[in-house]
Structure 1
Amino acid sequence: MHALFDMSSPWWHFVLRAIVIYVLVMVLMRLSGKRSVGQFTPFDLVLLILIGNAVQNGLNGGDNSISGAVILAGTLIGLNYFVALMTARHKRFRKVVEGVPVVLARNGELFHDVLRRELVSEADFHEVLRMNDIDALADVRIAWLETNGHISVVSYKSANKV
Structure 2
Amino acid sequence: MEAYLDIIIRSTAVYVFMVVALRVFGKKQLSQLNTADVILILLISNSVQNAMVGSNTSLFGGLAAALVLFIVNFIVKKILFKYKKIADLLQDKPEILIHNGKLEFATLSRLGITSDELYESIREHGVDHYKDVKLAMLEIDGNISVISGEHNAHLHQTYHKRRTHKTLRSENS
TM-score if structure 1 supplies the norm length?
Answer: 0.71
Equivalent of residue 118 in structure 1, options 106, 111, 132: 111
SS of residue matched to 2:53: coil
Identity %: 26
Deviations 1:58-88 (A, max 9, x none): 8232233455444433322210110122233
Following TM superposition, by how much is the alpha carbon of 1:29 offset from its aligned partner in structure 2, in angstroms?
2.0
Equivalent of residue 138 in structure 2, options 120, 125, 145: 145
In 1, Cα distance between equivalents of 2:52 and 2:120? 40
Unaligned runs of 5+ in 2: 33-40, 157-173
Following TM superposition, by how much is the alpha carbon of 1:102 offset from its aligned partner in structure 2, in angstroms?
0.9
1:32 and 2:25 are equivalent in the alignment: yes
> What is the identity, as a one-letter code, of the residue corresponding to 1:86?
I
- Structure number with higher helix proportion: 2
Rg bigger for which structure? 2
Following TM superposition, by how much is the alpha carbon of 1:145 offset from its aligned partner in structure 2, in angstroms?
0.9
Q: 1:105 touches 1:144 (CA, 8 Å); kept in 2?
A: yes
Root-mean-square deviation (Å): 2.9
Following TM superposition, by how much is the alpha carbon of 1:38 offset from its aligned partner in structure 2, in angstroms?
2.7
> What is the identity, as a one-letter code, of the residue corresponding to 1:102?
E
Show the 5 A alignment for 1:77-96.
Answer: 77-96=70-89
1:159 and 2:149 are equivalent in the alignment: no
- Give the number of equivalent residue pairs: 143
Unaligned runs of 5+ in 1: 1-6
SS of residue matched to 1:127: helix
In 2, Cα distance between equivalents of 1:71 and 1:61? 12
Alignment partner, residue 3 of structure 1: none
Show the 5 A alignment for 1:92-107.
Answer: 92-107=85-100
Following TM superposition, by how much is the alpha carbon of 1:120 offset from its aligned partner in structure 2, in angstroms?
0.9
Deviations 1:65-117 (A, max 9, x none): 45544443332221011012223333333333331211111111101121111
Deviations 1:104-162 (A, max 9, x none): 11111101121111111112212222232323333221110122222111111222315
